[in-house]
Chain A
Amino acid sequence: MPDISLIVAFFLLCNVIGGLIRVLRGPTPADSMLAAQLFGTTGVAILIVLAKPMKMPAVLDVALLFALLAAVVVVAFVVRFWAPASDRK
């Protein structure tokens, strides 16, 4: 049943697009950054759902990489850019 997987992936993609509205509206930079967090989890879910119907097991490695990068992005943003100047490293 690859059709169901495609519909699920499309629905998840709509969620990511909905999260982009928060990037436009978010009052603080961190609110915009939350969309990156959303893209981390939802993007990984899209890749996991699509790995089987695409018949490409390597997509799971890409999902693993996305999971790593989502963490690095948020931590780098907070520590290097958003933290109060006295705490910045």
Chain B
Amino acid sequence: MHLSEYLGFGMTLLAMPFFLCGTVGLLRFPDIYTRLHALTKADNVGLGLVTIGAMLQTQSWVTALKLLLIWLLILVTSAISCHLVARTALRRGIRPWQNR
């Protein structure tokens, strides 16, 4: 096994805490805005690390490009849907949570 494959596994393992943070945030945070924040940031970093890990393990350029495309697509779409959900929630009159 090459060094790059070990690095790839290391990257994949490094991604796991980010996914865990995303799920814990989704379950524990008090309102929809904070939950959106946990979900669309932490999970995207985790997915990026998984993608980099898989790119290090593969030999073909086409596969690496496809993985990069998947990550970019997820980044764009999750940013769009995060803003859409947050703006619609504001229009419906859901107040952001304040610790008072």
Residues of chain B within 8 A (CB-CB) of A12 are 16, 19
Q: Is the CB of B23 within 8 A of A18?
A: yes
User: For residue B81, which residue of chain A has the nearest CB?
Assistant: A74
Size class of the contact patch on chain B:
35 or more
Which of A31, A75, A84 contacts B84 (CB under 8 A)? Answer: A75
B22 x A45 contact (CB < 8 A)? no
Closest to A87 in B: B91
Specify which of B39, B73, B85 is in contact with A38 (CB 8 Å cutoff): B39
B2 CB, nearest partner CB in chain A, Å: 12
Closest residue to B89 on the A side, CB-wise? A30
Q: Inside 8 A of B7's CB, which chain A residues have their CB?
A: none
Checking A22, A48, A57, A63 against B26 with a beta-carbon cut-off of 8 angstroms, the contacting residue is A22
Contact B80 A71 (CB under 8 A): yes
Chain A residues whose C-beta falls within 8 Å of the C-beta of B20 in the assembled complex: 15
Ranked nearest first, the 9 interchain pairs of A and B with the lowest CB-CB distance are: A71-B77, A74-B81, A41-B43, A15-B23, A67-B73, A45-B50, A18-B23, A67-B74, A78-B84
Taking Cβ atoms with an 8 Å cutoff, the residues of B that contact A are: 1, 9, 12-13, 15-16, 19-20, 22-23, 26-27, 32, 35-36, 39-40, 43-44, 46-47, 50-51, 54, 57-58, 63, 66-67, 69-70, 73-74, 77-78, 80-81, 84-85, 88-89, 91-92, 94
Taking Cβ atoms with an 8 Å cutoff, the residues of A that contact B are 1, 4-5, 8, 11-12, 15, 18-19, 21-22, 28, 30-31, 33-35, 37-38, 40-42, 44-45, 48-49, 51-52, 57, 60-61, 63-64, 67-68, 70-71, 74-75, 78-79, 82-84, 87
